[in-house]
Amino acid sequence: MHLGQPLSPSPLDPPRRLLMGSGPSNPEPRVLQALATAPIAADDPALGGLLNDVSALGRVLFKTTNLDTLAVMGASRSGIEAVLASLIQPGDRVLVGVFGHFGELLCALAARHGAQVERVDAEWGRPVDVDEIVARVRRDPPRLVAIVHADTSTGILQPVAAIGAACRDVGALLMIDAVLSLGGCEVDVDGWAVDAAIGGLQKCLGGPPGLALVTLSKRASELLHERTRPIDSAYLDLARLTQQWRECDSQTGGPELSTSMLAAAREALRIVLAEGLQPRWQRHAAASRALRAGLRAMGLEFFGALDSRVPMITLVQVPDGIDEPGVRAQLLDEHGIEIMAAFGPLRGRVWRIGTMGTNARVPSVTAVLAGLEAVLASRGFALARGAGVDAALAVATAHRR
């Protein structure tokens, strides 16, 4: 289908889906309801309270005292680009750790904003060697180190604490893309000496896509105002946006703010903190443990270094002779369940199954296992019917005891 088709005349009624892919996940019902909050105008005294709350909740979530904790009005990648565009000046050396698709995105965006990009690569399926990054940082300090914390393309978690310490020692900045990890596993901005981090609502936070959470250390904020060259985009200019948020009841910031998305973010973060960070991380870990036990019992094999996997997405190898897109289409069509294809070198070889936000729960796990089992069985893949679900439930029950 391409643009230019006739208009469909009826109210929008997208199919019911259990979203078990790489995001968006199904949002919490209360968050969808919060989207319908009436707009708050730029000069309304109530606006400042909303901004303050999103910022305060964001600080707890990122584990930081950063005053400059805010939302960028756009997709997660608007937040990533805002950080890179705002912290990089042309010619700056930026060291990027690359272990998947979103590391490549960091390279592309850094280059677009004038950086001299240097890379430390890891084979897909492993994190970047921390010692190698630390050595590079100490040997020849870059302006900025950029790295993905948890990459949906490979399902690998990158340790960053030692990188942050090295950066702090030599005066380099560290930015992490925490879009996938925030709310699903620990992200310790202050503890790891991270200078800029970006989160998205639509993965482990129970919200819809369309808003990026950003936090900046004092050091990063100060550097915004020491630039000698304007930031490439006014819309993504964090010097301007942090100023607007700091003066959160001024009338200058209002016209750009999507108060619907901010109301949704506030409700999503409230739900996360009411559950508690630690229990929420444990719930994400438990869901993937159950999912993986089920997949193993079905005779499937995983992709990537087992001890470096993230808890919110599982990469599983497509068995020989099985039609990768055919399985996904059938699972969507017959079971209403979405799992995702893989990027780049893994395309066609791997499925990505997410357990994020409200779907990091046993019933979502058993649903995807039962559906996938039925689809694979219908296509002649030999497996013991019911084994996946039983194994998942056994693991879940064992951990509950």
Interface positions, 218-247, toward a second copy (CB under 8 A): 230, 232-236, 245-247
Contacts with a second copy by CB under 8 A: the residue count is 89
Q: Which residues contact 246 (CB under 8 A, 6 or more apart)?
A: 67, 68
Q: Where are the alpha helices (DSSP H) in 37-170?
A: 45-62, 76-87, 101-112, 130-139, 161-170
When the beta carbons of 356 and 370 are compared against a second copy, the nearer one is: 356
Closest distance to a second copy from the beta carbon of 343 (Å): 10
Site string (100-119) toward a second copy, x via CB under 8 A? --------xx--x-------
Nearer to a second copy among residue 231 and residue 285 (C-beta): 231
What is the torsional sign of CA 23, 26, 27, 33? positive
Residues 66-95 that bind a second copy (CB under 8 A): 67, 73-78, 81, 85
- Binders of a second copy among residues 6 to 35 (CB under 8 A) are 6-8, 11-12, 14-17, 19, 21, 23-24, 26-27, 32-35
Rama region for 357: left / alpha / beta (φ>0; ψ in -120 to 50; rest): left
**Site residues for a second copy, window 30-49 (CB under 8 A)?**
32-41, 43-46, 48-49
Taking the complex as a whole, the smallest distance from the CB of residue 127 to a second copy amounts, in Å, to: 22
Residue 49 DSSP code? H
- Rounded Cα distance between 81 and 102, Å, is 12
Taking the C-alpha atoms of residue 142 and residue 129, their distance in angstroms, rounded to an integer, is: 17
Binding to a second copy by CB under 8 A, coded x per residue (else -) over 328-347, reads x---x-----x-xx------
Q: Which of 154, 202, 288, 366 binds a second copy (CB under 8 A)?
A: 202
Residue 144 contacts residue 114 (beta carbons within 8 Å): no
How wide is the angle at C-alpha 233 spanned by C-alphas 230 and 236, nearest 5°? 110
How near is the Cβ of 263 to a second copy at its closest, in Å?
5
Among 117, 160, 182, 263, binds a second copy (CB under 8 A): 263
Residue 169: CB minimum distance to a second copy, A = 29
Contacting a second copy (CB under 8 A), which of 132, 256, 301, 334?
Answer: 256
Q: What is the distance between the alpha carbons of residues 155 and 355, in angstroms, rounded to a whole number?
A: 12
As a whole number of angstroms, the distance between CA 338 and CA 293 comes to 20
